[in-house]
């Protein structure tokens, strides 16, 4: 009888545990549904306002994140999806890259990327020397500011139809050069905290070897592919009409190359970019791009959500003036620097302006560099939080900044008298709405004044009649 009773209690306990797990999963699904719905609504709202929808995705992360309403308390899964989104984006860019066009822009890309890093690090070290902060901290912050966001820049250029133009070609070249430079930056940042495997001459040698290896591998691949026709991959004839196999196979190649690159001590995005170049120069290119693009779009939404989750509203509220000032100064300074470097290296004014604007924000790899500096002990917690806040805000503001400047640029190209005049024309409809509203307010004010004057005259007339009586 005891055995029977025990057997009767076990299923009830198991059922209760299963029910609790099901309820927990149900709550998780509610949170996921809420996040997706809010992201879609805010994205649609910004689209209706003629602004990039990615701003809405970032604000979704801010609103629902740990310092917002708290619907997303643990951002680990979202961060993993965001990292996957960056890798797939680089893979996609590699597939769409024209080798001949990239080789033509390689010299300019290296000069511009080198100028961005050199100026940013120089200014950061100067400020560090004046303020008395450690050299390592200034160097890391210079690296953080120097990088631009491949994800945001490519998305904005693609939204405006500029990705496959000369502007997009130049911007992609500079961004890829920056991504390659992340490899020695990470090694150097880790060694600054004393956690690198080698120090002194050995550490410098490791950096030089990996940098030369990355550049040599990319250059050799471009040279080899440029001398031959389209590659015919194994089983291409059998799978070219199988959508599911194409998607799985392309993602397998993408993440395998990213993993190998990461294990080798380089950026995983660099490996994904090389894999994309190989697939893009194969006979399967036109088949793979349509099946990968929707997956990339979904993962990029996760990336923008993760940016919003990183924004600490409490910290920003406590240091609002400092964070906003730094974000505005960084975006404006990077815009001027980018345009100047692009003009100095031979780009026309129109191309330099649009490409420079697209790279005005701080990049996603800056989060990685800041985290590496913090874990190595080379960056203190307050500097890390400021770097994260300024980076996230620059990514949030950048699409709005580009949207405004792009409208002005289109009118400046028509040889308007000034940017003030161009601004008035670019926002004529908005200004007309404000003018109509102002005119209505003026009319209401005039009517109220006339009414008040009439009432005062009537009151005076009644008083005069009363005095005469």
Q: Buried b vs exposed e over 246-260: b needs ≥16 C-beta within 10 Å?
A: bbebbbebbbebbee
* Tens-binned pLDDT, residue by residue, of the chain (469 aa): 444 544 444 455 555 555 555 555 556 677 777 888 888 888 888 877 766 787 788 888 888 888 788 777 766 667 777 778 878 888 887 887 777 777 777 889 999 999 999 999 999 999 999 988 888 899 999 999 999 988 788 878 887 778 778 888 889 889 888 887 887 887 788 777 654 444 455 556 776 777 778 778 888 888 888 777 788 887 777 787 788 888 888 899 999 999 998 888 777 878 888 899 888 888 888 888 888 888 888 888 888 888 788 788 888 888 889 999 999 999 999 999 999 999 999 899 888 888 898 899 998 788 888 888 888 888 888 888 899 889 888 888 887 777 776 666 555 555 444 445 544 544 455 445 445 555 555 565 565 566 656 666 766 766 777 666 6
Q: What are phi and psi of 363, to 5 degrees?
A: -90, 170
Distance CA(6)–CA(162), nearest Å, equals 71
Q: What's residue 19's pLDDT?
A: 53
Q: Which two tokens stand for residue 182?
A: 């992340």
**Is 0.75 topped by the overall pTM?**
no
pLDDT at 143: 94
Q: Report how far residue 115's alpha carbon sits from residue 172's, in angstroms, rounded to the nearest whole number.
A: 16
* Per-residue tokens: 340: 């100047």
pLDDT of residue 17: 58
SS (H, E, C) the chain: CHHHHHHHHHHHHHHHHHHHHHHHHHHHHHHHHHHHHHHHHHHHHHHHCCCCCHHHHHHHHHHHCCCCCCCCCCCHHHHHHHHHHHHHHHHHHHHHCCHHHHHHHHHHHHHHHHHHHHHHHHHHHHHHHHHCCCHHHHHHHHHHHHCCCHHHHHHHHHHCCCCCCHHHHHHHHHHHHHHHHHHHHHHHHHHHCCCCCCCCHHHHHHHHHHHHHHHHHHHHHHHHHHCCCCECCCCHHHHCCCHHHHHHHHHHHHHHHHHHHHHCCCCHHHHHHHHHHHHHCECCHHHHHHHHHHHHHHHHHHHHHHHHHHCCHHHHHHCHHHHHHHHHHHHHHHHHHHHHHHHHCCCCHHHHHHHHHHCCCCCCHHHHHHHHHHHHCCCCHHHHHHHHHHHHHHHHHHHHHHHHHHHHHHHHCCCCCCHHHHHHHHCHHHHHHHHHHHHHHHHHHHHHHHHHHHHHHHHHHHHHHHHHC
Nearest to 143 by CA among 166, 100, 113: 113
CA–CA separation, 57 vs 307, rounded Å?
9
């Amino acid at each position: 009888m005891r055995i029977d009773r025990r057997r009767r209690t076990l299923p009830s306990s198991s059922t209760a545990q299963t029910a609790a797990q099901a309820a927990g999963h149900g709550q998780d699904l509610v949170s996921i549904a809420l996040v997706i719905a809010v992201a879609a609504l805010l994205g649609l709202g910004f689209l209706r306002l003629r602004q990039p929808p990615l701003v809405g995705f970032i604000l979704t992360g801010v609103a629902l994140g740990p310092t917002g309403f708290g619907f997303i308390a643990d951002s680990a899964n979202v961060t993993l999806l965001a990292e996957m989104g960056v890798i797939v984006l680089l893979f996609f860019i590699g597939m769409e890259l024209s080798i001949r066009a990239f080789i033509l822009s390689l010299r300019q890309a290296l000069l511009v990327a080198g100028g961005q890093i050199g100026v940013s690090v120089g200014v950061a070290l100067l400020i560090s020397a004046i303020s008395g902060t450690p050299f390592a901290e200034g160097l890391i912050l210079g690296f953080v500011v120097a990088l631009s966001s491949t994800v945001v820049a490519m998305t904005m250029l693609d939204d405006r139809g500029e990705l496959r133009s000369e502007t997009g070609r130049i911007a992609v070249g500079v961004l890829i050069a920056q991504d390659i430079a992340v490899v020695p930056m990470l090694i150097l940042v880790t060694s600054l905290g004393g956690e690198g495997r080698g120090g002194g001459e050995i550490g410098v040698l490791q950096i030089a070897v990996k940098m030369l290896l990355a550049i040599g591998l990319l250059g050799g691949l471009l040279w080899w592919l440029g001398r031959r026709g389209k590659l015919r991959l194994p089983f291409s004839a059998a799978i070219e009409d199988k959508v599911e196999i194409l998607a799985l196979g392309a993602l397998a190649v993408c993440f395998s190359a990213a993993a190998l690159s990461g294990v080798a001590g380089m950026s995983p995005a660099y490996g994904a970019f090389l894999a994309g170049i190989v697939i893009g120069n194969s006979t399967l290119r036109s088949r793979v791009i349509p099946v990968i693009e929707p997956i990339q779009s979904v993962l990029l939404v996760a990336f923008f959500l993760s940016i919003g989750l990183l924004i600490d509203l409490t910290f920003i509220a406590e240091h609002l003036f400092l964070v906003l000032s730094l974000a505005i100064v960084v975006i404006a300074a990077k815009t001027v620097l980018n345009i100047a470097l692009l003009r100095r290296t031979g780009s026309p004014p129109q191309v330099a302006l649009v490409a420079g604007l697209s790279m005005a924000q701080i990049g996603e790899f800056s989060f990685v560099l800041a985290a590496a500096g913090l874990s190595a002990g080379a960056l203190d917690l307050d500097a890390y939080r400021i770097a994260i806040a300024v980076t996230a805000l620059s990514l949030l503001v950048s699409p709005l900044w580009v949207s405004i400047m792009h409208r002005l640029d289109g009118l400046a190209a028509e040889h308007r008298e000034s940017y003030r005049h161009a601004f008035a024309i670019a926002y004529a409809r908005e200004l007309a709405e404000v003018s109509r509203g102002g005119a209505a307010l003026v009319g209401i004010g005039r009517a109220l004044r006339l009414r008040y004057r009439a009432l005062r005259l009537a009151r005076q007339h009644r008083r005069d009649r009363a005095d005469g009586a």
